Structure 1
Amino acid sequence: MISFKKYIRSKSVIHTFFNFSVITAACAICLSAGTLTVHATSAEAQLRLETQRAMEIQSNEVPNWPVGPTVGAESAILIDAETGTLLYAKNIHQQQYPASTTKILTTLIASEQCQMDEIVTFSHDAVFDTPWDSSHIAMDVGQELTMEQCLNAILIRSANEVSYAVAEHISGTTDWAVFAGMMNTRAAELGCLNSNFVNPNGLPDENHYTTAYDLAMIGRAFFANEMLCKITLTRRMEFPATDKLPQGKLENNHMQIIPGGQYAYKYLVGCKTGYTDDARSCLVSCAERNGMKLICVVMHDESPYQYEDTIALFEYGFSNFEKINVSQAETKYNIDNTGLFYSGNDIFGSSQPILSLNRDDYIILPKTISFADTESVISYESGNENQAAVITYSYHGVDIGTVRVDFNIRNEEGYVFDVIPEEAEKEKPFIFINMTVILIGISSLALILFIVLVTRIILKNYVISGRPRRGRRKKRGRHRGRGRRRGRDHLDFF
């Protein structure tokens, strides 16, 4: 017989073993569930990538246009930064959540409206309106940074509370809708079509959205700012300790496409990433090679493909497109041998054209087509007193650039023309004047008028008389005294 103590001991052992087994099983189930969740998430992301890679690329539909790469981003765009020419298009006007790529507009406005040594003080709302689990640099209420430090914190570490503080500094209020209104106004000025911003940092809000096209338009202004571009490529942000920032700040740049990153791209000019669960991975960036500067935007992508897709698009652009100087390539508009468009000052020893194509203007042309394949339309409403017209070039409905027709005020050599396409003539007539012919005509007319005038004076004041000369002498003698009395200021020819 088993004693009671042994029974209790054995029962305790069994109970302990049972509890351990239950706990182990529970842990195994939890781990299994966690693993299943990870796999489900990965499978979901993979399915999303496959679906988005199968989406139509609209730019591939243009005849003879270079075939663009397949990317996992739901929306993607590649443009020339200077002309705005569209090189690659995939759902470019589809509304997307921009996440932290919003901050290129916030920092652009700050750089335009503020001095870099202005002091930004952190308010309670700027600090506590920032979710603790979002990107921040742990600023506290009452602490201060210069505006330059703020821009570094926003672009290097994507600090949300710093974005709020900058918005408050500029707008004067913690009503973020006020600064958002400034953002929307500036976005419209830059050419945005389908955007609405409600906060300065891109934190989730269903009413906060933009498009790949609109981000590219904002990017044209952002990447034209050398200071902002330089900040985005900085590997580390370090602020020294001050009375208003006792611990200082030291933060690293986590964007992997910048120098030193896993996907470093050597032609990169600047960039800004963004991520939320709804926005997925977003990236707006700029690169330059051989004088061609391109802007790329990918939205609703999966990490790390936002980097791979961006690099693939840049390589596509640099390899398949080129800049064409129209003043050197244009043959449609020529000067003829009649002297049209010349100033007609040969009598001074120097004859120069009075109109010329701007020698700095260029268009972006795919290497798969020739300049002769392009179409052009002239507009005479340039809005500039120094310009006679603007020529817009296109290929199968795709605008590829514009060229200005300048008045050659400084008598510089230029490409001059006098032949207008029939379409342009129908839109608005343009009169060309041969100044040499006009001057000769005016001179001839003036000479004829002068001869007529002199002839009339002679006929009016001189009469040829048929009387004998002796009789005329007698008549003059009888009136000699009267003539002296009238004075010398009167001459009588009769």
Structure 2
Amino acid sequence: MKVRPRLAALALAALATAAVGFAIAQTPAPQPATALSDALPVPPPPKITGTAWVLMDYATGQVLAGENIDARVEPASITKVMTSYVIAAEMKAGKIKPTDPVMMSEHAWREGGAGTEGSYSGFEVNQTAPLVEMEKGMVVQSGNDAAIALAEHVAGSEDAFASLMNAYAARIGMKASHFVNPHGLSEENHYTTARDLALLGRALVRDFPEAYSYNKIKEYTVGPITQRNRNLLLWRDPSVDGIKTGHHSGAGYCLMASGKRGDQRLISVVMGSTSESQRAVDSQALLNWGFRFYETHRLYEASKAIAKQKVWKGQAEEVQLGVAEPMLVSTPRGKYARLKPSMDVPKTLIAPIKQGQKIGTVKVSLDGKVIAQRPLIALNAVEEGGFFKRLWDEFWMWWEAP
């Protein structure tokens, strides 16, 4: 016994009263949508011809299916998606403008122009064009010359631009990629993975929708030359609005595609395919499979309380907990009601607590596997209580200690 009998009785009475307002974080439970009863398992994804491929849900970043997703591959002209991202980011930072005159230098023309084996835009050598027009020539026509000219304008040289590419790639979370040029022609130490490319496509859609919109342009004219976008899915599937093709002997035929049906967007990446037609067929099959068998759910809204936790020594008795950004999850269709949320929070919280302070983690599991987790934050600040409040809580913390 820690206290004398009379004090113990008083303490127990007070504890019974205090327990009414005591609230260890309550486990949130998403409201189930209409679900299929005993839904059948998701069938395997379509067989894909290629060295590596992945299908990713845009909203959550979850990988729905894939093979060799972390294997090193050559990105070929899909590299230009990274180039577009850098240009958009530097424009947002105020360093360049869409109206900037971009020079098609002799170097850009010789290394990536009509005299080479790669794709070219058709802009005249030693002439300028507005940056936004040069970028469309790079995106739609896959112009290597335009990519070089843009890199020189943004950073002074291809090498300096490649440094920017790698810096932004790291910020996006592309952990297994390294770029040495803005166009994607084969070079040593120029590599990526299917997973990283899906993350890149997701980042471009999310961060720079205007720049992303150039990818759905079906054809583009420079001077007397009109060239078609090589992404065949733009003609076959109205839900597809990007993203980029790639091809050279070392990389094979590649395609990063994205489509949106209703509120759901998916991103597919097929690397090392055998032909222009095959990469399109496989990408279409992946998107169709994903849209048919998976759905995206919004579990918790940002900055809305999903739990509360007792706070000791504070002016308030509890703190509300929530997530900083909406929490979404992708599930096989018909399995939404089987999601199991749980929370990992400290048993004891002591004031002061700052608004936005990380308190714990909310996790969502499906069939015993964690499929999503986010930090829990304090939605309100709790200031430190007065002297007697702190003293009183100190006593109760001591009393309840094991």
The TM-score with structure 1 as length reference comes to: 0.59
Alignment partner, residue 20 of structure 2: none
| Equivalent residue for 2:169, pick from 172, 187, 207 | 187
Q: Is the 8 A contact 1:374 1:393 kept in 2?
A: yes
Q: Is the 8 A contact 2:75 2:246 kept in 1?
A: yes
In structure 1, what is the Cα distance between the partners aligned to 2:252 and 2:368? Answer: 33
Alignment partner, residue 300 of structure 1: 272
One-letter amino acid matched to 1:273: T
Secondary structure of the corresponding residue to residue 140 of structure 2? helix
Alignment partner, residue 294 of structure 2: 321
Where in structure 2 are there 5+ consecutive unaligned residues? 1-40, 91-95, 347-353, 393-402
| Equivalent residue for 2:331, pick from 349, 353, 365 | 365
Alignment partner, residue 129 of structure 2: 145
Alignment partner, residue 83 of structure 2: 106
One-letter amino acid matched to 1:253: N
Alignment partner, residue 78 of structure 1: 55
Distance of aligned partners of 1:179 and 1:394 in 2 relative to their CA distance in 1, 3 Å threshold: farther
In structure 2, what is the Cα distance between the partners aligned to 1:384 and 1:167? Answer: 42
Secondary structure of the corresponding residue to residue 197 of structure 1? coil
Q: How far did residue 144 of structure 1 move?
A: 0.7
**1:47-73 deviation line (CA, Å, top 9, x unaligned):** xxxxxxxxxxxxxxxxx6652221112
Q: Is the 8 A contact 1:74 1:301 kept in 2?
A: yes
Secondary structure of the corresponding residue to residue 65 of structure 2? strand
| Equivalent residue for 1:291, pick from 240, 255, 263 | 263
Q: Is the 8 A contact 2:231 2:255 kept in 1?
A: no
Q: Is the 8 A contact 1:120 1:146 kept in 2?
A: yes
Distance of aligned partners of 1:308 and 1:250 in 2 relative to their CA distance in 1, 3 Å threshold: closer
In structure 2, what is the Cα distance between the partners aligned to 1:359 and 1:122? Answer: 43
Higher relative contact order (CA 8 A, sep 6+): 2
**1:424-474 deviation line (CA, Å, top 9, x unaligned):** xxxxxxxx99x9xx99x85998xxxxxxxxxxxxxxxxxxxxxxxxxxxxx
In structure 2, what is the Cα distance between the partners aligned to 1:285 and 1:371? Answer: 30
Q: Is the 8 A contact 1:180 1:197 kept in 2?
A: yes
One-letter amino acid matched to 1:230: S
In structure 2, what is the Cα distance between the partners aligned to 1:377 and 1:281? Answer: 45
Alignment partner, residue 70 of structure 2: 93
Alignment partner, residue 390 of structure 1: 361
| Equivalent residue for 1:117, pick from 99, 103, 126 | 99
Alignment partner, residue 276 of structure 1: 248
Q: How far did residue 384 of structure 1 move?
A: 7.9
In structure 2, what is the Cα distance between the partners aligned to 1:384 and 1:281? Answer: 50
**1:375-396 deviation line (CA, Å, top 9, x unaligned):** 756378xx98265433243557
One-letter amino acid matched to 1:183: M
Alignment partner, residue 67 of structure 1: 44
| Equivalent residue for 1:405, pick from 368, 376, 390 | 376
Secondary structure of the corresponding residue to residue 270 of structure 2? strand
Instruction: Note if 1:169 corresponds to 2:135.
Output: no
Q: Is the 8 A contact 1:78 1:86 kept in 2?
A: yes
Q: More deviation in 224-233 or 268-277?
A: 224-233
Where in structure 1 are there 5+ consecutive unaligned residues? 1-63, 240-246, 411-431, 446-494
Flag the structure with higher strand content: 2
The TM-score with structure 2 as length reference comes to: 0.72
One-letter amino acid matched to 1:355: L
One-letter amino acid matched to 1:179: F
One-letter amino acid matched to 1:250: T
Q: How far did residue 364 of structure 1 move?
A: 1.4
In structure 1, what is the Cα distance between the partners aligned to 2:107 and 2:368? Answer: 49
Instruction: Note if 1:160 corresponds to 2:144.
Output: yes
In structure 2, what is the Cα distance between the partners aligned to 1:83 and 1:166? Answer: 32
Alignment partner, residue 197 of structure 1: 179
* Aligned Cα root-mean-square deviation (Å): 3.7
Alignment partner, residue 3 of structure 2: none
Secondary structure of the corresponding residue to residue 361 of structure 2? strand
Secondary structure of the corresponding residue to residue 216 of structure 1? helix
In structure 1, what is the Cα distance between the partners aligned to 2:43 and 2:369? Answer: 13
Distance of aligned partners of 1:216 and 1:252 in 2 relative to their CA distance in 1, 3 Å threshold: same
One-letter amino acid matched to 2:125: V
